[in-house]
Chain A
């Protein structure tokens, strides 16, 4: 239940990349057969990645992942979809605004968006969004960690970060990680082909999960916009308890989740995202992110719904906040 953190590599992706780890080991810059075979593979992958976001292949810079793709200097950067609660941001509206400003003389105003969470979980079209740069990471898309891409609109000129090689049209020097890029390309092709089915699947499972939580656990609050959000994320605040304790309890029963809050050195750092929704410290501390993947099953959800209420109940029995609330409610009832 932590597919927002990373996703299992698709078997078909592994099959596609294997030859490039074994017999097809060429350097794409080499002129001979092995090199050209690798070059063709990188170009095919580039086309697939471009197709996933409706870009041109020469607008794709292949690199090591989302973080590297985010490491550029631009003026406006907004996540396409939030990684903690899944809320989809109005990038198209911002894109329109940026284009208007650019037409009005602000020539070098660029819009960058981090599409890492959104990719493969909603349609992403750089033309509709109107963004100039978009970061992508393969491992959220059932490909391995360590490969990603930056979409760079034709008119945008970026200073290269890796120099010393001519690869990626001088924008990112260094021999291409061919097998990883092939994996990314295959994952992108599969994501495009299966996008509608994956979205429907994840949305149905999330509805099953949220209905089950609502039915079985009291004092829960679902965080984020219920409509404008990615189909795979459910962020829940459990009142009276703290998220990390719940995370460990679930982990011990084989369920992996994430929490946005952290308490370190005795000072609390509650999730800024949940706080920004207007929730207090207690709800921010009690928030857990459940994230579903294309391979998650009904049985997985039912297992979570079996262990989660018990884990919450165990922590609440310990919680002075809960005991206090029960006492107060009993008084009100009398």
Chain B
């Protein structure tokens, strides 16, 4: 179980955990295979993500990717946020074991759903 110290730190001290009372974008995605869940709430003003909060249930990578995602996207414009990739999220948690990369995919999908674009990636 070779998790990075960065990932463990996000697990011990999750950033931006919770929900925004004044969110205007909320999305929740479940990985149908393993049941991992990620809920994202955003406050978007003037095309910019002012605040992001997350809730997550599942394996440590899912929790850490949710935490990292909120850090990555706060302050970005919506267009910039849509360009945040799985690889970027994986790098930001200090790497993921190959069998756990689906956690980053769940984060990207939830973000795209929140922003309002259905993400289709082959």
Q: Chain B residues with Cβ under 8 A from A323's Cβ?
A: 19, 55
Would you list which residues of chain A between 236 and 261 have a CB under 8 Å from chain B? 240-242, 244-245, 248-249, 252
Beta-carbon contact of B11 and A319 below 8 Å: no
**A318-B34 contact, Cβ under 8 Å, with A249-B11, A265-B102, A266-B102:** no
Task: Kindly specify which of B43-51, B57-65, B75-83, B112-120 makes contact with the partner chain.
Answer: B57-65
Q: Chain B residues with Cβ under 8 A from A281's Cβ?
A: 35
Q: Chain A residues with Cβ under 8 A from B39's Cβ?
A: 320
Chain B CB within 8 A of A73 CB = no
Chain B, interface SS category: mixed
Q: A327 vs B111: C-alpha distance in the bound complex, in angstroms? A: 24
Chain B CB within 8 A of A101 CB = no
Contact partner, A318, options B8, B14, B36, Cβ 8 Å: B14
Instruction: Output the nearest chain A residue to B14 by Cβ-Cβ distance.
Output: A318
Q: A252 vs B57: C-alpha distance in the bound complex, in angstroms? A: 20
Beta-carbon contact of B57 and A320 below 8 Å: yes
Instruction: Output the nearest chain B residue to A245 by Cβ-Cβ distance.
Output: B60
**A320-B28 contact, Cβ under 8 Å, with A266-B34, A268-B33:** yes
Q: Chain B residues with Cβ under 8 A from A320's Cβ?
A: 28, 37, 39, 55-57
Q: Chain B residues with Cβ under 8 A from A315's Cβ?
A: 63
Chain B window 76-108, contacts with chain A (Cβ cutoff 8 Å), 1 for yes, 0 for no: 000000000000000000000001101000000
Contact partner, B56, options A252, A268, A282, A319, Cβ 8 Å: A319
Would you list which residues of chain B between 1 and 50 have a CB under 8 Å from chain A? 1, 3, 8, 11-12, 14, 17-19, 28, 31, 33-37, 39
Beta-carbon contact of A252 and B8 below 8 Å: yes
What interface size band does chain A fall in? 20 to 34
Chain A, interface SS category: helix
Q: A87 vs B86: C-alpha distance in the bound complex, in angstroms? A: 43
**A249-B12 contact, Cβ under 8 Å, with A241-B57, A267-B33, A281-B35:** yes
Instruction: Output the nearest chain B residue to A264 by Cβ-Cβ distance.
Output: B99
Contact partner, B34, options A240, A252, A267, Cβ 8 Å: A267
Q: A321 vs B28: C-alpha distance in the bound complex, in angstroms? A: 12
Chain B CB within 8 A of A121 CB = no
For the complex formed, measure the closest distance between the CB of A272 and the CB atoms of chain B, giving whole angstroms. 16
Q: A147 vs B105: C-alpha distance in the bound complex, in angstroms? A: 45
Q: Chain B residues with Cβ under 8 A from A265's Cβ?
A: 99, 102
Q: A241 vs B63: C-alpha distance in the bound complex, in angstroms? A: 11
Would you list which residues of chain A between 315 and 330 have a CB under 8 Å from chain B? 315, 317-321, 323
Chain B CB within 8 A of A103 CB = no
Beta-carbon contact of A245 and B102 below 8 Å: no
Chain B CB within 8 A of A206 CB = no
Chain A window 286-321, contacts with chain B (Cβ cutoff 8 Å), 1 for yes, 0 for no: 000000000000000000000000000011011111
Which residues of chain B have a CB within 8 Å of any CB of chain A?
1, 3, 8, 11-12, 14, 17-19, 28, 31, 33-37, 39, 54-60, 63, 66, 99-100, 102
11 additional A-B pairs beyond A265-B102, A268-B33, A314-B12, beta carbons within 8 Å, are A245-B59, A245-B60, A248-B8, A263-B36, A267-B33, A285-B35, A314-B14, A317-B17, A318-B17, A318-B57, A320-B55
Which residues of chain A have a CB within 8 Å of any CB of chain B?
240-242, 244-245, 248-249, 252, 263-268, 281-282, 285, 314-315, 317-321, 323
| A–B Cβ pairs within 8 angstroms, 18 of them | A241-B57, A248-B60, A263-B36, A263-B58, A266-B33, A266-B99, A267-B34, A268-B33, A268-B35, A281-B35, A282-B35, A315-B63, A318-B63, A319-B57, A320-B37, A320-B39, A320-B56, A323-B55
